[in-house]
Structures are given as C-alpha cells and as structure tokens.
C-alpha cells in the first residue's frame, strides 16, 4: 500500500541519476541470422525425427516481426563474443578472480559514479547501497557490499531481486529508510546483466533483453544540493503470483543435472497472457496511486514507464489518459535498449527529466515478472 503522508517531517528526494550501457550493440538482424542458421542446422540434422513427429523443428525468426511486435531494434550486451557463434549462442563472460571487481559490481560502479556526480556527492557521503536487479551473479558476498567498498561508503549494503520491479521496489526501500531516519543518503543500483539468461535459440524470446546499469541517489530533502531534484510524494508496491514469466535456473539446478540450454531453465514466458493480464493491472495500480495523492493522470507531465514492449506502454498510457500519449509525455527507449528488466523506467527517467519545471508531476512505474508492479509519484522541486 501507499506509504504517502504529506505531513511527514522528513522528505526524500531523487537527487541524481546515472545510466551506463556497454559498448556492444546487437541488432535484430544479427540475432535473427544466428537463430536461423541454428534452425537450418538443427532441422537438417533431425529431419527424420521431425518428419516422424518425434521432434519439434526449430522455428525461424524475422527482424520485421520483432520490431513490429516489440518496438525493439537493437540492444546493448555486456559481452557480445559467443552470442553470434552458432555453435555457442551464449555470451562468453570470463570468470574473474576473487580479488577482481565482479562483472555486476563493475557495471553498477559505472552507473553509480554518474549518479553520485549528478547528485554532487561522494561515495563516502552514502549511508547505504542497495543493488537490485533480476539476477545477481553470485549469492554472497552481496554485490552491494562489494560496490559499497569500491565506493568508499562506510554504511551498509544489501542485494534484492524483484525481476522487472527490482529498481522501483528498492527505491521504495530507500524512501522508507530515509523517512524512518535509518539512513540519510541511499544509492540504488540496477546492474541488469540479462544476456546470460536469454535463450538465443528461441524465436519467442531471443530478441527481448539487453544489458545496462542504472543508479539513483535518494537523499533527505534538506541535504540535497543538485540541480534537478524530485521529491518522492509516495511509493506503492503490488505483487500477485504468476507462472507466466519464469526463470528456473538457480543454485539447486546442479543437483538436478539441469542442462544449461534447457529452455525451462532460461527466461521463458507466455507473452500474450502477460500482455493481457499486466496492462490492466498496471493502469489500475497507477490510477489508484495518483488518487491517493489527489491527482489524476491529466496532472502528470511525464510517465517513465517500464520498457518491455511498445504496445504495452501505448495501451497503458491510453487507458490512463483516454488518448494516445505522445513521445514527450511517455518516452520510449526500447528501440535502442530493448527490455532491460528493472532498469527500463530508470533509463527513461535518466534521459528525459531535465526539461521538467518546478512543480511538475511525474510517475515512475515498473511492471513484470512476479507479477510485480512498483510506482513512485514524484514532483520536481
């Protein structure tokens, strides 16, 4: 439920945001080429079994379908090497020694430095670091504690996983921590390293995800000094269990002798079901959250929505506004970044917030696996 209370003596503000993307891009055409080459190879090798109905053929993909169905043209990937090799079809991410920075800490650090610079503070000014994303590359020590150490922060850190809503749910935690007085400055970091979990042999999902890292600084209002500050008026979180989006690979998998290419182990979803079930949930959630602040969708200048699929975003904003939203109102970053799990709405916020005027309202909202929906209603100071 909403935590909002306008009379609360302590305000929490977003005072800095950082976005980092890897150098490597992967286009739809490149992904389709490798999948279709794999399909030819597999279907030829298994022709007799396919003919006898014992084996399903591998279905081919199509770049035009991808763009039309999702709005995605390209994505960034942390390591491109290996993905386009038909005999591998997964990235090659070298193992690092324990005394080297882990991959996700490195991604997170790149975004964190930008967020700290935007807020005009140092790592040593932070009280807490939360790393929140869809997967962490190990169970412990927490990536957040590694990042805390790299940033020279003396407080505490922890990791949390809530798939697509990881970023908003962690911002929710930061807001609560600041308002309760347990922290004054919190860094929330989202190193979304999705590519290791993508099934690049599956045409239904091979195009969906990209890698990126985002970070935000959330500070007590009276401490914030940055040029662009957004008071968090309230946060709202909702979860409803669903099997329509799943990723089953985990630490127990080795005891079950799971093949790392088993489609059930990797990201998979019932895309249509997700679309149908999540869009109305997200629209109702946002409307309810705005109502709790005596606001309506017409009062909102900017919508920084989760970036899973352009058709989903268009449908949700149409339900909210009663008309199609224009690109300025509800920016789309899917064409360049694809679905970056929890980072999507924060990428949009990072790229499209500086033009807002003092007093303008905005909504950050995520929706996805779980199901999970997280929102923040914010106002520019």
The answer to whether residue 104 forms part of the interface with ligand CO8 (CB under 6 A) is no
Could you give the CA distance from residue 167 to residue 306 in angstroms, rounded to a whole number? 10
At residue 301, what are phi and psi to the nearest 5 degrees?
A: -80, -40
Report if residue 144 touches ligand CO8, rule: CB under 6 A. no
Q: Which of 37, 50, 55, 69 contacts ligand CO8 by CB under 6 A? A: 69
**Residue 330: closest CA among 296, 359, 301:** 301
Query: Of the two residues 127 and 202, which places its CB atom closer to ligand CO8 in the complex?
Result: 202
How many residues at the interface with ligand CO8, by CB under 6 A?
30
Residue 337 exposed, middle or buried by CB count within 10 Å (0-12, 13-18, 19+): buried
Q: Contacting ligand CO8 (CB under 6 A), which of 129, 131, 186, 198?
A: 198
110 vs 131: CA distance, rounded Å: 13
Q: Which of 19, 89, 164, 373 binds ligand CO8 (CB under 6 A)?
A: 164
Question: How far apart are CB 178 and ligand CO8 at their closest, in Å?
Answer: 27
Q: Is 130 in the site for ligand CO8 (CB under 6 A)?
A: no
Verify binding: residue 70, ligand CO8, rule CB under 6 A.
Answer: yes
Six-digit token pair at 314? 């268009």
> Residue 245 interacts with ligand CO8 (CB under 6 A)?
yes
Given candidates 20, 38, 78, 209, which one binds ligand CO8 under the rule CB under 6 A? Answer: 209
| Site for ligand CO8 contains 167 (CB under 6 A) | no
Between CA 169 and CA 89 the distance in angstroms is 32
Helix/strand/coil percentages in the chain, nearest 5: 35, 20, 40
Mutual angle of helices 310-321 and 271-291, in 10-degree steps = 30
Q: How many CB atoms lie within 10 A of CB 252?
A: 9
Identify the residue among 48, 272, 298, 359 touching ligand CO8 (CB under 6 A).
272
- Alpha-carbon Rg for the chain, nearest whole angstrom, is 21
Q: Is 164 a catalytic residue?
A: yes
Interface residue with ligand CO8 among 18, 362, 368, 374 (CB under 6 A) is 368
Look-up of token digits 């909102």: 300
Task: Please name the helix (run of DSSP H) or strand (run of DSSP E) that holds residue 212, with its range, or none.
Answer: strand 212-220
Q: Which of 204, 262, 335, 360 binds ligand CO8 (CB under 6 A)?
A: 204
Q: 133, 153, 164, 279: which one is catalytic?
A: 164
Q: Which residues in 183-319 belong to E strands, given as ranges?
A: 185-192, 212-220, 230-239, 245-246, 268-269, 300-305
Task: Verify binding: residue 166, ligand CO8, rule CB under 6 A.
Answer: no
Give whichever of 184 and 197 is closer to ligand CO8, judged by the CB atom.
197
Instruction: Give yes or no for residue 341 binding ligand CO8 (CB under 6 A).
Output: yes
Of 91 and 297, nearer to ligand CO8 (C-beta) is 91
Residue selected from 21, 102, 104, 309 as contacting ligand CO8 according to rule CB under 6 A: 309
**Residue 137 CB, nearest distance to ligand CO8 (Å)?**
13
CA 290 – CA 281 distance, rounded (Å)? 14
Q: At what angle do helices 63-70 and 310-321 cross, to 10 degrees?
A: 20
- The answer to whether 91 and 210 have CB atoms below 8 angstroms apart is no
Interface residues with ligand CO8 (CB under 6 A)?
A: 61-62, 65-66, 69-70, 134, 163-164, 194, 197-198, 203-204, 209, 245, 247, 267, 269, 271-272, 274-275, 308-309, 312, 339, 341, 368-369
> Which residues are identified as catalytic?
164
């Amino acid at each position: 439920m909403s935590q909002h209370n306008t009379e609360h003596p302590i305000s929490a503000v977003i005072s800095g945001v950082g976005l980092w993307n890897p150098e490597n891009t992967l286009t739809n055409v490149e992904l389709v080429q490798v999948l279709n080459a794999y399909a030819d190879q597999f279907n030829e090798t298994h022709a007799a079994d396919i003919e006898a109905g014992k084996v399903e053929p591998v279905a081919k993909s199509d770049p035009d379908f991808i763009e039309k169905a999702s709005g995605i043209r390209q994505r960034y990937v942390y390591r491109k090497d290996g993905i386009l090799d038909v005999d591998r079809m997964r990235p090659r991410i070298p193992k690092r020694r324990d005394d080297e920075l882990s991959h996700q800490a490195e991604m997170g650090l790149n975004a964190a430095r930008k967020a700290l610079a935007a807020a005009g503070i140092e790592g040593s000014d932070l009280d807490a670091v939360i790393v929140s994303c869809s997967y962490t590359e190990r169970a412990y020590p927490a990536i957040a504690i590694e990042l805390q150490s790299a940033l020279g922060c003396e407080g505490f850190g922890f990791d949390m996983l809530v798939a697509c809503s990881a970023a908003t749910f962690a911002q929710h935690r930061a807001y609560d921590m600041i308002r309760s007085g347990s922290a004054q400055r919190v860094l929330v970091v989202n190193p979304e390293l999705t590519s290791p979990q993508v099934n690049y042999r599956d045409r239904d999902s091979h195009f969906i995800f990209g890698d990126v890292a985002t970070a935000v600084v959330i500070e007590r209002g009276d401490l914030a000094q940055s040029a662009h500050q957004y008071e968090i008026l309230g946060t709202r979180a909702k979860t409803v269990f669903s099997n329509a989006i799943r990723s089953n690979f985990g630490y127990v998998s080795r005891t079950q002798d799971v093949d790392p290419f088993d489609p059930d182990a990797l990201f998979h979803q019932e895309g249509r079901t997700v679309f149908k079930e999540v869009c109305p949930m997200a629209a109702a959630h946002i409307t309810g959250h705005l109502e709790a602040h005596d606001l309506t969708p017409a009062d909102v200048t900017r919508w920084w929505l989760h970036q899973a699929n352009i058709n989903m975003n268009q449908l949700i904003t149409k339900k909210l506004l009663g008309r199609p939203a224009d690109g300025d109102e509800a920016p789309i970053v899917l064409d360049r970044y694809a679905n970056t799990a929890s980072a999507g709405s924060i990428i949009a916020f990072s790229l499209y917030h500086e033009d807002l005027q003092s007093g303008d309202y905005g909504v950050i909202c995520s929706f996805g696996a779980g199901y999970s929906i997280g929102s923040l209603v914010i106002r520019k100071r």
